[in-house]
């Protein structure tokens, strides 16, 4: 106890773990093994890198027969202290007893080289039966090449004997003889992974993960990368396992989601041959053929579905063959609940026009069902018919159900500014640049008015463009300083289009009023005409969503009269990974790729930049506010007239905030 107190005093053991550890040793001495194990585990939770605790916990677990758990703690102790041969031997013996003969053989082999007689004998006891077995089964497969059991046993023994190439060869041969047993594909992938043949390993594991054997599929997924497989990886897996319907089905729907319809059709055609009872695949193949005008090719697929026992799927086929009215009659004949069920299945399968038809029928049958009203709002929103969607959301927010009313109100408020006669939008973007040792400020407030039912808005705008440093360069007599920003308030009136697939156009005419009285290179107020096209798009796991990869781009083509009627192009692209939410923090790491160019080929407007960045926000902040930091390496692509170095570094830190009234 005095020794433990000394450890606590000198910071070797934390006070909370010291008590648990002492209690563990006391319990161990009294042969209260369960209590001792609990104390050791508490001590390890506080200090997981204590080798002695792992060892003592392992021995306590052996006392109660928990050999596999003991093995794992001996393994941890061995990793922390590789020189402790006694621990390594304990681990090796437990590996052998639990069937991990390859690991046991490997450790015995390492220790015997140091002159350890026990390890030498243990190695011989493991290795000789393996060597004899490999030789015996090698002869067996030569005599009977189609003997499944011989190939499987040879592969198993070769893997235990660390002859991984031989193991991979015979796991594959065994699987070729029994292609429905995808546990052999899992074994093949596992061994190929150990050999470093990652492409072949991934193909085998991906095929095993999409097989019908649930446990095998789970084991294979554990060895696959955390990301979703690429198309070419699906294709390689199918080349290996051509009859894997689950694998081919997933690839077909992936290609369909990527609008690669001809390739998806080829996969669905193969799938219907391999699995004639897959009515959904038959229907999808029929839809694709019908869409490209091959009605004769689609009809056999549709006939198969209409003769099947999936009425909801058959209804979707009837819509294609006979028009929505046939479906509406069937929906009218059913109850509202049936229509809701069919709508839910249509949404799940991605058939949103069908879902809208079913939901409309359900609403006609039961106009008081607010859940149907809300779903009609969301379906129309996803189908980009926001004008109809906002009407459904307006009804939903009047529901007596608080949850539906809340969701409907939020959706309505999100869409309302798009259809309001007037709206005011404001954005702010202060930005610090180490390259210029300056803090820049960009902001705009804009009052917009709809133009009837046209996809246009008239707006009145006030922009601010300025910085704190203002100028660089000599201020001696006769020298002209260079200003780092326009240093102006710009008042304008303009016209902008609605956003369509991430793109919108705009043009405005106004007056730029300088706010620096000492600035002599421009007048106090000068005409300012500007306009252009803007495009933004994001895919993957964007900020504040679930973790995963993402990519996004913000691109602008801008005409500015005050820069000698110049036209500038800005391309800003980021790709990276959205991290899991930590407490209230949402964050992303990404890589920047930026390009700036202009019509007049002025040096300051022609650059390329790349480098890492971080973007983050916390939940108490407004949803549209975020911080960003990027370290960029840049280069001028035009250097004629450039007074600076052709390359530069720039650390940029900014805050973005936007809101709409």
| Matching fold, domains 2-98 and 422-660 | no
Instruction: For residue 110, give the 3-state DSSP assignment.
Output: helix
Mapping DSSP onto H, E and C, the string for 491-553 reads EEEEEEECCECCEEEEEEEEEEEECCCCCCCCCCEEEEEEEEEEEEEEEECCCCCCCEEEEEE
| Angle between helix 352-365 and helix 324-333 axes, rounded to 10 deg | 40
Specify the DSSP element, H or E, that contains 75: helix 67-80
What is the DSSP-derived secondary structure letter of residue 31?
Answer: T
The CA distance from 159 to 572, in Å, is: 51
Q: Please classify residue 134 by burial: count the beta carbons closer than 10 Å to its beta carbon, then call 0-12 exposed, 13-18 middle and 19+ buried.
A: buried
Residues 119 and 112: beta-carbon distance below 8 Å = yes
User: How far is residue 543 CA from its own chain's centroid?
Assistant: 11
What pLDDT score does 464 carry? 93
Give, in order, the Cα–Cα distances in Å from 217 to each of 99, 186, 201, 222, 234: 22, 8, 14, 9, 15
The CA distance from 430 to 441, in Å, is: 4
The CA distance from 74 to 85, in Å, is: 11
**Euclidean distance between the first and the last CA atom of the chain, given in angstroms as a whole number:** 68
Q: Which two tokens stand for residue 303?
A: 């006939």
The CA distance from 379 to 367, in Å, is: 17
Q: What is the pLDDT of residues 408-458, one digit of tens each?
A: 888 888 777 777 778 888 999 999 999 988 999 999 999 988 887 788 889
Instruction: For residue 652, give the 3-state DSSP assignment.
Output: strand
> Maximum distance among all alpha carbons in the chain?
100
Region of 546 please: left (phi>0), alpha (psi -120 to 50) or beta. beta
| Angle between helix 311-322 and helix 279-291 axes, rounded to 10 deg | 10
Q: Which of 276, 278, 277 is nearest to 253 (CA)?
A: 278
Q: Alpha-carbon dihedral of residues 285, 287, 288, 289, nearest 10 degrees?
A: 80
Q: Which of 176, 251, 172 is nearest to 210 (CA)?
A: 251
Q: Which of 235, 230, 206 is nearest to 219 (CA)?
A: 206
The CA distance from 311 to 162, in Å, is: 55
What is the DSSP-derived secondary structure letter of residue 243?
Answer: T
Give, in order, the Cα–Cα distances in Å from 39 to each of 9, 20, 32: 20, 5, 11
Q: Please classify residue 466 by burial: count the beta carbons closer than 10 Å to its beta carbon, then call 0-12 exposed, 13-18 middle and 19+ buried.
A: buried
What is the DSSP-derived secondary structure letter of residue 230?
Answer: P
Residues 464 and 426: beta-carbon distance below 8 Å = no
Instruction: For residue 435, give the 3-state DSSP assignment.
Output: coil
Q: Please classify residue 95 by burial: count the beta carbons closer than 10 Å to its beta carbon, then call 0-12 exposed, 13-18 middle and 19+ buried.
A: buried
The segments of the chain whose pLDDT lies below 70 read: 1-20, 322-338, 348-351, 470-483, 521, 544-546
| Angle between helix 402-419 and helix 370-382 axes, rounded to 10 deg | 30
Q: Which residue has the tokens 């074994």?
A: 187
Q: Which two tokens stand for residue 227?
A: 């990301």
Domain residue extents for the chain: 2-98, 196-418, 422-660
Give, in order, the Cα–Cα distances in Å from 53 to each of 26, 96, 379: 14, 23, 58
* Beta strands 456-467; 525-540: pairing state: unpaired
Strand partners, 593: 573, 610
Handedness of CA 219, 222, 225, 229 (dihedral sign): positive
φ/ψ of 601, rounded to 5, equals 60, 45
Q: Which two tokens stand for residue 620?
A: 């108490």
Q: Which two tokens stand for residue 32?
A: 């209260």
Structurally, at CATH architecture level, domain 422-660 sits in Beta Barrel (2.40)
What pLDDT score does 12 carry? 41
Structurally, at CATH architecture level, domain 196-418 sits in Alpha Horseshoe (1.25)
Q: What is the pTM of this model?
A: 0.45
Structurally, at CATH architecture level, domain 2-98 sits in Alpha Horseshoe (1.25)
What is the DSSP-derived secondary structure letter of residue 563?
Answer: G
The CA distance from 437 to 455, in Å, is: 42
The CA distance from 344 to 360, in Å, is: 13
């Amino acid at each position: 106890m005095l020794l433990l107190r000394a450890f606590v005093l000198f910071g070797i053991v934390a006070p909370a773990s010291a008590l648990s550890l002492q209690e563990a040793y006391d319990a161990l001495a009294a042969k209260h093994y369960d209590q001792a194990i609990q104390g050791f585990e508490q001590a390890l939770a506080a200090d997981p890198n204590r080798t002695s605790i792992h060892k003592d916990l392992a021995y306590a677990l052996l006392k109660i027969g928990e050999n596999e758990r003991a093995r794992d703690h001996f393994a941890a102790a061995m990793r922390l202290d590789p020189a402790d041969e006694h621990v390594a031997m304990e681990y090796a013996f437990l590996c052998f007893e639990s069937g991990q003969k390859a690991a046991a053989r490997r450790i015995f082999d390492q220790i015997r080289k140091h002159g350890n007689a026990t390890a030498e004998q243990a190695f011989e006891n493991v290795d000789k039966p393996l060597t004899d077995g490999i030789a015996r089964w090698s002869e067996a497969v030569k005599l009977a090449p189609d003997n499944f059991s011989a190939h499987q046993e040879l592969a198993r023994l070769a893997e235990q004997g660390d002859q991984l190439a031989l193991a991979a060869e015979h796991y594959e041969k065994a699987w070729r003889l029994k292609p429905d047993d995808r546990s052999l594909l899992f074994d093949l992938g596992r061994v190929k992974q150990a050999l470093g043949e990652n492409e072949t390993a991934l193909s085998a594991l991906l095929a095993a993960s999409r097989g019908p054997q649930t446990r095998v599929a789970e084991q294979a997924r554990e060895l696959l990368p955390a990301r979703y497989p690429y198309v070419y990886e699906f294709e390689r897996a199918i080349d290996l396992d051509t009859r894997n319907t689950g694998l081919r089905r997933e690839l077909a729907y992936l290609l369909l989601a990527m609008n690669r319809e001809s390739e998806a059709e080829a996969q669905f055609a193969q799938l219907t041959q391999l699995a004639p009872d897959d009515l959904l695949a038959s229907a999808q193949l029929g839809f694709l053929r019908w869409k490209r005008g091959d009605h004769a090719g689609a009809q056999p697929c549709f006939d198969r579905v209409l003769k099947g026992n999936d009425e909801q799927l058959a209804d979707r086929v009837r819509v294609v063959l006979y028009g929505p009215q046939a479906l509406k009659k069937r929906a009218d004949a059913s109850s509202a609940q049936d229509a809701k069920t069919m709508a839910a299945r249509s949404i799940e399968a991605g058939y949103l026009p069908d879902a809208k038809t079913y939901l409309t029928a359900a609403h006609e049958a039961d106009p008081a069902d607010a859940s149907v009203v809300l779903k009609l709002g969301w379906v129309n929103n996803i189908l980009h018919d926001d004008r109809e969607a906002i009407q459904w959301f307006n009804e939903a927010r009047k529901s007596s159900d608080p949850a539906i009313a809340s969701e409907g109100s939020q959706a309505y408020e999100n869409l309302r500014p798009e259809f309001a006669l007037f709206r005011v939008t404001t954005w702010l973007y202060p930005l610090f640049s180490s390259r210029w040792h300056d803090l820049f400020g960009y902001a705009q407030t804009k009052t917009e008015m709809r133009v009837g039912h046209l996809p246009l808005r008239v707006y009145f705008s006030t922009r601010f463009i300025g910085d704190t440093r203002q100028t660089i360069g000599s201020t001696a007599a006769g020298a002209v300083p260079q200003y780092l920003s326009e240093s102006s308030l710009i008042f304008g009136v303009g016209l902008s289009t609605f956003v369509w697939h991430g793109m919108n156009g705009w043009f405005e005419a106004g007056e730029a009023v300088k706010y620096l009285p000492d600035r002599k290179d421009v007048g106090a107020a000068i005409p300012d005409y500007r306009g252009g096209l803007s495009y933004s798009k994001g895919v993957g796991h964007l900020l504040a969503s679930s973790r995963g990869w993402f990519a996004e781009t913000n691109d602008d083509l801008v005409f500015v009269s005050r820069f000698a009627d110049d036209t500038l192009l800005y391309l800003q692209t980021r790709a990276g990974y959205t991290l899991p939410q930590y407490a209230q923090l949402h964050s992303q790491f990404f890589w920047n790729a930026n390009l700036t160019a202009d019509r007049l080929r002025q040096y300051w407007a022609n650059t390329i930049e790349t480098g890492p960045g971080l973007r983050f926000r916390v939940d108490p902040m407004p949803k549209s506010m975020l911080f960003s930091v990027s370290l960029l390496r840049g280069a001028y692509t035009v250097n004629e007239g450039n007074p600076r170095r052709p390359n530069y570094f720039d650390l940029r830190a900014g805050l973005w905030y936007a809101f709409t009234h």
